Amino acid sequence: MGPVINTSYDEEAPFIHPDKTTLYFSSNKYQTKDRFDIYTSSWSASLDQSGGWTPPVHIGYPIKAKDDAAIYLAATNNKPIPALSDELPAAIVKKDGKTRGIEKNYISETNNYIVTFADQKKIPLTLLKGKVIGADGKNPRLVTITVTNNETGEKMGIYHCSDLSGDYCFILPPEKNHNITYEAEGYLFQSENINTSNEAGHFAIQQTATMFIPEVGSKIALHNIFFNQANSLLLPVSNTELDHLFNFLITNPNRIVEISYTLNSYEKAKIKYNELLSRQRAEAVVSYLIEKGIPEDRMGSKSHANRLKLKKEKKKSPSENNSQQKKPFEGLELKIIEKK
């Protein structure tokens, strides 16, 4: 990392904050040989043509006293977590808008401590965690989870879930329109859209991704294909998802599929309009795939324009008020209708 960070002493336990520009690490350069302290540095593009790290700043008291402070992490609630610290005499926190101290907390064994910096700049942070399961009752193996920026097509990260439990956990970069794609051999790909562009706080999202075997009747929602408002013009932010769809059809040449689009409305007058728009959007995706080289006889299109009924309000129990009601699906779907 260069002489700004690396010295003749020991630098250990590096941690890059999800903002991609802030580095925390431990060093013993100002301590005795066996004592470590935490430092921070920021990546700056203005230092030279290629960018570089700013001179490290010692976090100092009250995070550090006379003993080791070795590992730094950041939690989703914006609370930094110095770990493996032998002593934490005090911490500065904000409570009711005032800065207050925490009483001395000394434990002789190695412990973890949670500290909130009163003057720390809040950086958006989204933690995505969940489980990947198979609709066939089995855990898909070797699942790859790819996070792509829909705006630029840049891959932001590639992750894997546990083959044993199906669990996964990773942090999404802030201020991005994310395509989250789950892929495993022998299964239809799944995708989710999570947009952190307007998020200013810290969030933890938990969800389950169900993967289907590509057999007749299986279908998936295509959450990352977008159209211009009120017409069927495909937007460039759809390219990543369209490529996934194209690759699936290329690698499964014996599948015949149906592309459908669904729109819902409470107004009867909008049903005909929605039916036309749904058909045009489904046909736009089919036309795109034909232009890319997929034979026309392998695809069909279908539209759905549903009229929703307003339900009369009734008194709900506390458990019903707290539960989230499932919204009717609206958008694009792929369905396998025949296998040659």
Q: Are residues 78 and 164 in the same domain?
A: no
Find the mean pLDDT for residues 69-86: 46
- pLDDT tens digit sequence for 125-146: 788 999 999 998 888 999 999 9
The residue segments making up the domain with residue 281 are 215-311+328-340
- pLDDT tens digit sequence for 196-238: 877 666 678 889 999 999 999 999 999 999 999 989 999 999 9
Residue 43 inside a domain? The answer is yes
Q: Are residues 267 and 167 in the same domain?
A: no
Residue 292 inside a domain? The answer is yes
152 three-state secondary structure:
coil
Q: Note the pTM of the prediction, 2 decimals.
A: 0.69
Task: Count the domains in the chain.
Answer: 3
Q: Are residues 200 and 243 in the same domain?
A: no
Residue 167 inside a domain? The answer is yes
| Domain limit, last residue, from 213, 233, 252 | 213
Task: Please tell me which residue, 102 or 6, carries the higher pLDDT value.
Answer: 6
Average pLDDT, the chain: 79
**Among residues of the chain, what percentage have pLDDT more than 90?**
43
Q: Which residue has the tokens 């933690």?
A: 127
| Domain limit, last residue, from 57, 85, 111 | 111
Q: Are residues 77 and 67 in the same domain?
A: yes
Q: Are residues 200 and 136 in the same domain?
A: yes
Residue 1 inside a domain? The answer is no
| Close Cβ partners of 133 (under 8 Å, ≥ 6 residues apart) | 139, 140, 166, 208, 209, 210, 211
Estimate the crossing angle of helix 239-251 against helix 271-292, to 10 degrees.
Answer: 60
Q: Are residues 220 and 340 in the same domain?
A: yes
Q: Are residues 301 and 334 in the same domain?
A: yes
> How long, in residues, is the chain?
340
Find the mean pLDDT for residues 254-263: 96
Q: Please report, for the domain that includes residue 206, its CATH number.
A: 2.60.40.1120
Residue 67 has pLDDT above 60, yes or no: no
| Close Cβ partners of 139 (under 8 Å, ≥ 6 residues apart) | 132, 133, 163, 164, 165, 166
**Whole-number Å distance between alpha carbons of 203 and 205:** 6
The predicted structure's pLDDT at residue 144: 95
Q: Are residues 209 and 222 in the same domain?
A: no
Residue 320 has pLDDT above 60, yes or no: no
Residue 320 inside a domain? The answer is no
